Structure 1
């Protein structure tokens, strides 16, 4: 082999290593699509548009929001899972689509773990156990004591037994060894009206749905579902302070179809770090009841997802939830 042939052979060996880096450098050269399972105007939609607008400035390409609501996230998840794994279609997903659907459906037409690769966690949304200001219980230990003294006599409004709020409530009650009568509502404001009207004693709802009522003094927060107290409500204890290890939050995250080049995933992750570091992003998320997440690599997000699935598997077994 002469010198020229040797150099050509070295160049040929380097091509497979250079290709992913070259793809990441040239990506994106056309618009990027965010698939959402929620309708336009919903909380996730507003957040996705905020993040998409800022990414479009970085990328000098449009970020198109493709709303595919319905089927309890199944429609949107399928669209995203079947998209070409080239980095031009991303799935802006919630806890339900990527974790809890596995436990509430007997079968899913997509596999959250197999059909997607994690890109980055965007933010976490606390849930709050609350009562009307006139309710005698002042905190969670007081509530537990009253529930044990009056088994099955306290009614709690949620978004439904197989929704996040319903499962959080049932898991908390089971862990505490109490019985609460869960009353499902299709809209949070309806549950709050019944709470204020005395037809309910409790609600378990997203923080965003309760903030105005708590600030107005009509509703008292008894506990939050996060592992740590919320900076905006430092006086409100976590459930975990009474029931150690209890931690459940809703979240938003970005995923790519399985097979998307790792270099492209890393590029999107790095650009999301830049967007999430901007104060206006954190402020926008906070206004919608979501805590912005600090830097998180795709591998760290993958570990987070594994822990979430394990956490929910235990919770579902504890409450005896049956898939349909």
Structure 2
């Protein structure tokens, strides 16, 4: 390799020493695109942009985030499924798009199994049940007791009754024997503004969407959906402390349109793993409400997806969810 080629490689791959592979011949020669089903400023969007920035530094090519919100993830997922399988378009997806939509829709214009190739799990995102700062309850137990005394009188903001947050709210209400009034929102900031304004008493959203509001004291966390308390919220009880053995955690991961060259999928998996092992990345994701997944091969992600589908078959039956 001539001297100018070494110089060019050094400019394109400033993170080569951190474990990122050098580019395979011919890839990437142009910007890469991540499609999201959520709007700009949402929890998944913030996480995707941060991870994309770290990857782009090593690839020497920008990663463009394309937000395609709406239709409970259907619009973005369909757009990603129909994208060219040339290694330049990926789908940054959540649990809803790749697992739960199968059980809540009678028909989907995309097939999460056939239309996508799993690349890598990025992180697990717990959900949080929170209350307006001025709502007169001290904890989840008091909130549920109040809901029991006022059937349907306590409103909870979710992303919809058949979304991940909506099903969590229904699970909690069912286990507690209460009825909560669902108020669906398409954008987390809109839901939080209504909670802060006192028009809705409770909210159930991913930790990432609530982090800034919790830190500002505008809302107060009552419970986190993981089996154990989270390091970033040590004073917030886990739902398992109220309902023994209960755990309900979402995740976000990267997928490629089916038919994407396996070597590109393997390359992205490897480079993403290198990024997710960097201490500053782990800390940043935690501050954004996501627990980084340090190690996961393509085969392990495929196995994870199979186990997730099996888990949700059981949960959907428990909640008696009927597809629409």
| TM-score interval for Structure 1 and Structure 2 normalised by the shorter chain | 0.7 to 0.9
- What aligned pairs does 1:137-286 form with structure 2 within 5 A after superposition? 137-196=137-196, 198-286=198-286
Structure with greater helix percent: 1
- Secondary structure of the residue aligned to 2:99 is helix
Q: 1:256 to 1:202 in 2, by over 3 A?
A: same
1:130, 1:40 → 2: CA distance?
22
Q: Distance in 2 between matches of 1:196 and 1:40?
A: 21
Q: Answer yes or no: is the 8 Å Cα contact 1:160–1:183 preserved in 2.
A: yes
TM-score by length of 1: 0.80
Aligned to 1:130, what secondary structure does the other structure show? strand
After TM superposition, the structure 1 = structure 2 runs for residues 4-15 of structure 1, keeping only pairs within 5 Å, are none
RMSD: 2.8
What is the TM-score normalised by the length of structure 2? 0.80
Aligned-pair distance for 1:170? 0.5
Aligned to 2:83: 83
CA contact (8 A) 2:42 2:188 kept: no
1:15 maps to what in 2?
A: none
1:67 CA drift (Å): 3.6
Query: Residues 91 and 196 of structure 1: is their aligned pair in 2 closer, same or farther, counting only changes over 3 Å?
Result: closer
Q: Separation in 2 of the partners of 1:29 and 1:211?
A: 34
Partner of 1:28: 27
Larger deviation: 156-165 or 77-86?
A: 77-86
Which range moved further: 226-235 or 56-65?
Answer: 56-65
Task: State the SS of the aligned residue for 1:26.
Answer: coil
CA contact (8 A) 2:43 2:206 kept: no
Q: Is the 8 A contact 2:42 2:187 kept in 1?
A: no
Matches within 5 A, 1:101-120: 101-120=101-120
Deviation at residue 120 of structure 1 after TM alignment: 0.8
Please list every run of 5 or more consecutive structure 1 residues that lacks an aligned counterpart in the other structure: 1-23
Deviating 4+ runs (over 6 angstroms) = none
Between stretches 293-302 and 49-58, larger displacement belongs to 49-58
* CA distances 1:94-144 after superposition (whole Å, capped 9, x unpaired): 222111221222111111012112111112222111224555543334444
Query: How far apart in 1 are the matches of 2:218 and 2:87?
Result: 47
Q: How far apart are the structure 1 equivalents of 2:166 and 2:55?
A: 34
Contact 1:151 1:180 in 2 (8 A): yes
> Is the 8 Å Cα contact of residues 34 and 90 (structure 1) preserved in structure 2?
yes
Show the counterpart of 1:8.
Answer: none
Higher alpha-carbon Rg: 1
Where 2:295 maps in the other structure, the secondary structure is: coil
Partners of 2:79 and 2:194 lie apart in 1 by 38
Q: Give the paired residue count.
A: 301
**Residue 305 to residue 191, structure 1, CA distance change in 2 (3 Å):** same
Is the contact between residue 81 and residue 115 of structure 1 (CA under 8 Å) also seen in structure 2?
Answer: yes
- Mapped to 2, the partners of 1:133 and 1:34 lie a distance apart of 36
Structure-2 change in CA distance of 1:149 and 1:277 (3 Å)? same
Shift in CA distance, 182/46, structure 1 to aligned 2, threshold 3 Å: closer
Residues 228 and 90 of structure 1, relative CA distance in 2, 3 Å threshold = same
